[in-house]
Amino acid sequence: MSDADLPRSAAGGDALETARLCARVARDIIRSATSHADVTAVKGRGNVVTATDLAVERAVMTILREHFPEHAILSEETASATPTDGWTWVIDPLDGTKNFSRGIAHFAFTLALCVDGEPVLGLTTHPLLGLEVVAIAGGGCTVDGHRAVLRPCPTVADAVVAMDLGYNADRARRQIELAAHLWPGMQSLRIPGSAALGFAGLAAGWWDLYLHSDLQPWDLAAGLLIVREAGGVVLARDGTPAALASRAVIAGTGTAVRDALARAGELPVT
C-alpha cells in the first residue's frame, strides 16, 4: 500500500494529508499550553486528564469528521462506544499526559487509520521536537521524511531497553520485577512515560527494545505499524503477533524480542 492507495477525503485529499493536518493542529494546541498544563480530572492513580487533552481531541475529531464523515473515531477520552470494524481512526490526543502535566518535555500526539482493526497508516509526533514518525502498511516507515529501519540488535545484552509501567499496580510491579531480572544484562534502561514515543523511539533509534504491560488501543495503534514497517516485530507476551487489543507487548528487532521473551519466561508466575 502507498499513500495513493489510502482512502480519499471528502475534500479530495488523501488520509496522510489529513493525518498531518491533525498533527499540526495538535502541535499548536499543545505548544501553546506546555508551560501551564491545567489538570481537569483524575482517572485513577497517576492517570490525569488536562484541558489540553480535551482541546486536542475536539479539534482533531472535528477535522476527521469533516474530511472522513463515514469513518469511525476511537479516541482515548471518548472511547467507550466506538466500534473498531470498518474504517476507524484511533487517536491519543496527548500521550504522556503525566509528563506534560509536570513540565517533563516528553509526550506525543499519535493517531492511526485502521481497517477492521488493522492499522494501515500510523503517525506519531513529538510536538516540541517536531519529530514526525510515519508508517504506511507495505510502504515503510519514515522519521522526519527519511526511511527508518531499526538498528541491528541481536540480544537483550546489546539493547538499550525502554519500559513503561502503566496504571495497573500488579502489572507495573511485574514490569519492575522483569527489569530487575534483566538487569544488568542490558546496555541501559529508560522509562519514557509515553507508549507512543516508546514505539516511535525504536524507529528513531533512541532504544532497541520497548516493553509495556498495560496498553489500550490508542496507545499502540500507530506503534504497531511503525515498528513493523521499520523492520521490527511487536509480540504479545505469549509470543504471538500483537494486535490492537493486546495489553502487554515487547517490540524491537525479532531476535532481541525473542531473547527478551525467553528471559521473561524465567520469572516465576505470581
* Whether 125 and 245 share a structural domain: no
* Whether 101 and 164 share a structural domain: no
Which pLDDT belongs to residue 11? 83
**The total number of structural domains that make up the chain:** 2
Residue type, 152: P
Angle in degrees, 0-180, between the axes of helices 254-264 and 169-182, rounded to the nearest 10: 110
pLDDT higher than threshold 70 for residue 43: no
pLDDT higher than threshold 90 for residue 10: no
Residues 225-243 have pLDDT tens digits of 999 999 999 999 999 999 9
* Whether 35 and 9 share a structural domain: yes
* Whether 143 and 10 share a structural domain: yes
pTM: 0.93
* Whether 58 and 114 share a structural domain: yes
* Whether 23 and 53 share a structural domain: yes
CB atoms within 10 A of CB 92: 31
Residues 71-125 have pLDDT tens digits of 999 997 666 555 667 899 999 999 999 999 889 999 999 999 999 999 999 999 9
The CATH number that applies at residue 7 is: 3.30.540.10
Instruction: For residue 245, give the DSSP letter.
Output: T
What are the two backbone dihedrals, phi and then psi, of residue 10, each rounded to the nearest 5 degrees?
-60, -25
* ω into 184 cis (within 30 of 0): yes
Domain boundary pick from 147, 168, 188 = 147
β-partners of residue 113 are 89, 121
Which pLDDT belongs to residue 215? 95
Which pLDDT belongs to residue 35? 74
Domain boundary pick from 130, 147, 164 = 147
Distance CA 259, CA 262 (A): 5
Does the residue 208 lie in any domain?
yes
- All 3 cell numbers of residue 198? 516508546
Quote the domain boundaries for residue 207.
156-264
* Whether 195 and 248 share a structural domain: yes
Whole-number Cα distances in Å, 201 to 9, 187, 196, 204: 30, 16, 8, 5
The CATH number that applies at residue 240 is: 3.40.190.80
**Cell numbers 522509562: residue:** 191
